Amino acid sequence: MRLLFAILVILILALQYRLWVGEGSFAEVSALREQVESQTIENQKLKERNAALEAEVQDLKTGYAAIEERARSELGMIRNDEMFYQIVDPEKKAP
């Protein structure tokens, strides 16, 4: 009877060890859930970024408004019928 009791205690301890410390333990499952949550958040950010880039690509393919906006802001271009005025602040000194 003592032998059976000792075997059962050892089995229970072995199962408890695996539950708390071993592979698939509560700590490991909790860490994996945190990793999944952080990866899900990162994936959502990347999906939003990809959607914005896709919208910009479609706009550049189909419309000229985005091309004109980039030409004005990045290249400083103007139309033929426009006049460009540059206002210089007298307070600022040239480098």
Contact 78, 84 (CB under 8 A): yes
Residue 45, pLDDT score = 97
CB 36 within 8 A of CB 28: no
* Cα–Cα distance for residue pair 48/53, rounded to 1 Å: 9
Q: Which residue has the tokens 């859930």?
A: 33
The pTM of this model reads: 0.51
pLDDT in tens, the chain (95 residues): 888 889 999 988 887 877 777 777 788 888 999 999 999 999 999 999 999 999 988 877 887 777 777 777 787 778 788 877 778 887 776 66
